[in-house]
Amino acid sequence: MVKLKLQLLRNGKIVFEMPLSMAEWRRDRLDNELASFEREHERFTRLFDALSHETRLKMMTRLFGDDDLTLSFADFMKDLDLNPKIVWEGTRKLREGGLLTKSPDGKYKASDPGVAEFLMLSLALRRLLKAMDEL
Do residues 8 and 16 touch, judged by C-beta distance below 8 A?
Answer: yes
Structural fold of domain 50-116: Arc Repressor Mutant, subunit A (1.10.10)
Do residues 132 and 124 touch, judged by C-beta distance below 8 A?
Answer: no
59 C-beta neighbours (distance < 10 Å), count? 27
pLDDT, position 23: 87
Instruction: State pLDDT tens for residues 15-71.
Output: 999 998 888 999 999 999 999 989 999 988 999 999 999 999 999 999 999 999 999
Domain ranges of the chain: 1-39, 50-116
Give the integer Cα–Cα distance in Å for 38 and 34.
6
pTM of the model: 0.80
Instruction: State pLDDT tens for residues 79-134.
Output: 999 999 999 999 999 999 999 999 999 999 999 999 999 998 888 888 888 988 88
Do residues 57 and 107 touch, judged by C-beta distance below 8 A?
Answer: no
- DSSP per-residue letters across 67-128: TTSEE-HHHHHHHHT--HHHHHHHHHHHHHTTSEEE-TTS-EEE-HHHHHHHHIIIIIHHHH
pLDDT, position 51: 93
CA distance to 124, 127, 131, per residue, from 134 (Å): 15, 11, 5
